[in-house]
A and B are shown apart, each in its own frame.
Chain A
Amino acid sequence: MTKGGHALSDKEAAKAYWKTNVRIILWSLVIWALVSFGFGILLRPMLSGIAVGGTDLGFWFAQQGSILVFLALIFFYAWRMNKLDAEHGVGEE
């Protein structure tokens, strides 16, 4: 990556980069809410038919599943954003 570059293209690159970033964040937050507030609480009655170790899937999501998904989300985001930084030439040199 070359340092500096054209000022205008830098600005445009930053704009496109930010737009993609916000989209990735929004999708990640949809999953974040779905596993916790969704499967763990509000949609639990819907999942009550799926048995997991003496109880149902919603209970598992509320006590363990959501935590595992949170972990996956953060690592996915870090990996995806580091790739995006490089694609748009806005990463740290």
Chain B
Amino acid sequence: MDQFTINLLFVGASFALYIGIAVWARAGSTSEFYAAGRGVHPVTNGMATAADWMSAASFISMAGLIAFTGYDNSSFLMGWTGGYVLLALLLAPYLRKFGKFTVSEFIGDRFYSPTARLVAVICLIVASLTYVIGQMTGVGVAFGRFLEVSNTAGLLIGACVVFAYAVFGGMKGVTYTQVAQYVVLITAYTIPAIFISLQLTGNPIPALGLFGEHAASGEPLLAKLDQIVRELGFNEYTAHHGDTLNMVLFTLSLMIGTAGLPHVIMRFFTVPKVADARWSAGWALVFIALLYLTAPAVGAMARLNISELMWPNGTDAQAVSVEQIDTDPKYDWMATWQTTGLLGWEDKNGDGRIQYYNDANADMQAKAAEQGWEGNELTNFNRDILVLANPEIANLPGWVIGLVAAGGIAAALSTAAGLLLAISSAVSHDLIKGRFNPGISEKGELMSARVAMAAAIVVASYLGLNPPGFAAQTVALAFGIAAASLFPVLMMGIFTKVNNKGAVAGMLAGLIVTLIYIFLHKGWFFIPDTNSFTDADPLLGTIKSTSFGAVGAMINFAVAFTVSKMTAPIPQEIEDLVESVRVPKGAAAAAADH
């Protein structure tokens, strides 16, 4: 059986599994379907939250970004897990006590202002839409590879599948489908990692293998990796090269953004008790950590494997020959990925070999002149392909490759569909019904939800074709927006007595300043070539657009406090509301306000 058929089988089987579970769960009990999450054990809820949360950014993109940058991209690991501490300590139990279903409802009630609710909905839509762009990038990579078509064709096919999946809709609400998606996703991520860790270090646990010994040389794995990349003129893997301030702000943005993303927070509204909201955040992080502890191992080991494939006889000997790439089955993955347009090589100096090295490094330029090299010949290696290509790079069996394709699609699909649902309900329920046309019929509301969803996916697919960055980088921008707009007001709503005007001013200031900063660097509305600055040489010191969310959050806090001080204090009933949110006693089941 050829690889294409195997991939198709695995992806098809995983889809059949999700749909089967959805049908089974729906037939089992209708009331359970509507009370999604109620009566579900915190462990199960944690697993479903993990599936909902881990997207193309975590699964497809993150390890690749770590692999090619090393230590400096540890921000992704700390940021996307550290946010759960903020969520568990600062938001989840209190929002559960409040007892409504959505983030904008909390903001509207706590700040006794329909304007605050409207602004919150806008922040939610902007952050979620940016997030979907990142997902579409990942969808393009995954579908492009598994259908063996170009990245663009993959993205367009993927967009149709995501749309159909999101419209089918209800299935998203079934916790057990998400549990199945989690199982597929985590199996697909860890199995190749275990194989590779065994090959390289003899240790079956990749997280331990990373700090273990490289079996072939007897040296520590990371020391060996540092040595190889140094010999090729790249930055040492484990060393700190980037700017420290930017790294701190980037990590902080991802953490605050995690705690400010509506689709994650929503999961804690519906757990049975306040105590369960605390446990659920912990269990969610347990299941997320399984992937996040493995990811740095995947990155480091893949980087080592790629370097060794390009220099099969060591960095002092000759590079791999074009003939070997074309004929040796170990290099088949290169031809497959070339089809997607995301991997490329070119024998620039015509010596019949492909030299992979850092041609911007002065020492390497000297060596190149001496050897007759004319620049790095592995001309294109898209970071987003690394995780999906990894089992092929390590020469693992075909079923592992099929499994990874299914996992990558599960990750991108579940999150993209969830975000589209969040956007469409925000537009139809909060904006149209709640604000502009309260008398709209049920049918009209449903119709506007579908239209909003279709519009969102068209915009996201268009921008996903020319994305502002690799999948995880685009998603990081979405986190920056959520960090700057939603998290600060949620926190102030619980821990301070900031008033309505303060909240509205804070959200607007945080959102607008952050958006402008991002657009200045990534292009207005992410349209390519409309930017005035680049992240290599940012407007403010060393602060890249992906790191600006933390600054935006500080602006939000400062503006909110200042405006609140200058205007009327909150009324007594809101004071009572804040007091009641702070203690678990008297928590009722969550109720929707419609």
Binding site for B on A (CB under 8 A): 14, 17-18, 21-22, 25, 28-29, 32, 36-37, 40-42, 44, 52-56, 59-60, 62-64, 66-68, 70-71, 73-75, 77-78, 81-82, 85, 89-93
Q: Are B584 and A91 in contact (CB under 8 A)?
A: yes
Q: Are B582 and A64 in contact (CB under 8 A)?
A: no
- A29 partner residues in chain B, CB cutoff 8 A: 85, 89
Q: Does B240 contact A (CB under 8 A)?
A: yes
Q: Are A67 and B89 in contact (CB under 8 A)?
A: no
Task: Provide the bound-state CA to CA distance between A66 and B285, in Å.
Answer: 12
Q: Mark B292-320, 1 if CB is under 8 A from A, else 0.
A: 11001000000000000000000000000
Q: Are B582 and A14 in contact (CB under 8 A)?
A: yes
Q: Are B78 and A66 in contact (CB under 8 A)?
A: yes
Q: Give me 12 other A-B pairs in contact (C-beta within 8 A), A41-B244, A55-B211 excluded.
A: A22-B495, A53-B220, A55-B238, A64-B296, A66-B77, A67-B81, A67-B293, A68-B289, A75-B282, A77-B88, A78-B281, A81-B93
Nearest chain B CB to A49 CB, angstrom units: 15
- B248 partner residues in chain A, CB cutoff 8 A: 37, 41-42
Partner of A77 from B78, B89, B224, B587 at Cβ < 8 Å? B89
Q: Are A36 and B285 in contact (CB under 8 A)?
A: no
A40-B74 contact in complex given A55-B222, A74-B88, C-beta closer than 8 Å? yes
Task: Provide the bound-state CA to CA distance between A77 and B285, in Å.
Answer: 14
Q: Does B279 contact A (CB under 8 A)?
A: yes
Would you list 12 pairs from A and B whose C-beta atoms are within 8 A, ordered by A residue?
A28-B85, A53-B222, A54-B222, A54-B223, A55-B222, A56-B238, A59-B222, A63-B296, A67-B78, A74-B85, A74-B89, A81-B275
Q: Are A92 and B585 in contact (CB under 8 A)?
A: yes
Nearest chain B CB to A3 CB, angstrom units: 9
A17-B583 contact in complex given A53-B220, A54-B219, A67-B292, C-beta closer than 8 Å? yes
Nearest chain B CB to A62 CB, angstrom units: 4
Partner of A92 from B210, B220, B274 at Cβ < 8 Å? B274
Partner of A90 from B89, B222, B247, B584 at Cβ < 8 Å? B584
- A53 partner residues in chain B, CB cutoff 8 A: 210-212, 220-222
Q: Are A14 and B222 in contact (CB under 8 A)?
A: no
Task: Provide the bound-state CA to CA distance between A70 and B284, in Å.
Answer: 12
- A77 partner residues in chain B, CB cutoff 8 A: 88-89, 278
* 3 A-B pairs with least C-beta separation: A54-B220, A53-B211, A54-B222
Q: Are B251 and A59 in contact (CB under 8 A)?
A: no
Nearest chain B CB to A7 CB, angstrom units: 12
Q: Does B82 contact A (CB under 8 A)?
A: yes
Task: Provide the bound-state CA to CA distance between A91 and B219, in Å.
Answer: 55
- A74 partner residues in chain B, CB cutoff 8 A: 84-85, 88-89, 278, 281-282, 285
Q: In terms of DSSP, what is the predominant structure of the interface of chain A?
A: helix
Q: In terms of DSSP, what is the predominant structure of the interface of chain B?
A: helix
Binding site for A on B (CB under 8 A): 71, 74, 77-78, 81-82, 84-85, 88-90, 93, 207, 210-212, 219-224, 226, 238, 240, 244, 247-248, 251-252, 255, 273-275, 278-279, 281-282, 285-286, 289, 292-293, 296, 495, 579, 582-587
- B244 partner residues in chain A, CB cutoff 8 A: 41-42
- B587 partner residues in chain A, CB cutoff 8 A: 92
- B220 partner residues in chain A, CB cutoff 8 A: 53-55
**Closest B-chain residue to A17, C-beta based?**
B583
Nearest chain B CB to A60 CB, angstrom units: 7
- B579 partner residues in chain A, CB cutoff 8 A: 14
Task: Provide the bound-state CA to CA distance between A42 and B478, in Å.
Answer: 26
Q: Are A18 and B78 in contact (CB under 8 A)?
A: no
A90-B278 contact in complex given A42-B244, A71-B285, C-beta closer than 8 Å? no
**Closest A-chain residue to B587, C-beta based?**
A92
Q: Are B89 and A28 in contact (CB under 8 A)?
A: yes
- A70 partner residues in chain B, CB cutoff 8 A: 81-82, 84-85, 285
Partner of B85 from A17, A59, A73, A92 at Cβ < 8 Å? A73
Q: Are B293 and A64 in contact (CB under 8 A)?
A: yes
- A92 partner residues in chain B, CB cutoff 8 A: 273-275, 584-587
Nearest chain B CB to A41 CB, angstrom units: 6
- B285 partner residues in chain A, CB cutoff 8 A: 70-71, 74
Q: Are B296 and A78 in contact (CB under 8 A)?
A: no
- B74 partner residues in chain A, CB cutoff 8 A: 40, 59, 62-63
- A40 partner residues in chain B, CB cutoff 8 A: 74, 78, 251
- A85 partner residues in chain B, CB cutoff 8 A: 275, 584
Partner of B251 from A37, A68, A81 at Cβ < 8 Å? A37
- A36 partner residues in chain B, CB cutoff 8 A: 78, 82, 251, 255
The CB with the most chain A CB atoms within 10 A, among B220, B255, B584, is that of B584
**Closest A-chain residue to B284, C-beta based?**
A74
Task: Provide the bound-state CA to CA distance between A67 and B78, in Å.
Answer: 7
Task: Provide the bound-state CA to CA distance between A28 and B85, in Å.
Answer: 9
- A93 partner residues in chain B, CB cutoff 8 A: 585
Task: Provide the bound-state CA to CA distance between A56 and B220, in Å.
Answer: 12
Task: Provide the bound-state CA to CA distance between A55 and B296, in Å.
Answer: 14
- A91 partner residues in chain B, CB cutoff 8 A: 275, 584-585
- A73 partner residues in chain B, CB cutoff 8 A: 85, 89
Task: Provide the bound-state CA to CA distance between A32 and B463, in Å.
Answer: 36
Nearest chain A CB to B203 CB, angstrom units: 11
Q: Are A90 and B583 in contact (CB under 8 A)?
A: yes
Nearest chain B CB to A72 CB, angstrom units: 9
Task: Provide the bound-state CA to CA distance between A53 and B274, in Å.
Answer: 41
Partner of B582 from A18, A60, A75 at Cβ < 8 Å? A18
Nearest chain A CB to B267 CB, angstrom units: 15
**Closest A-chain residue to B238, C-beta based?**
A55
- A18 partner residues in chain B, CB cutoff 8 A: 582-583
- B274 partner residues in chain A, CB cutoff 8 A: 92
- A54 partner residues in chain B, CB cutoff 8 A: 211, 219-224, 226, 238
- A67 partner residues in chain B, CB cutoff 8 A: 77-78, 81, 289, 292-293
Q: Are B282 and A78 in contact (CB under 8 A)?
A: yes
The CB with the most chain A CB atoms within 10 A, among B78, B224, B278, B279, is that of B78
Q: Are B88 and A25 in contact (CB under 8 A)?
A: no
**Closest B-chain residue to A13, C-beta based?**
B583
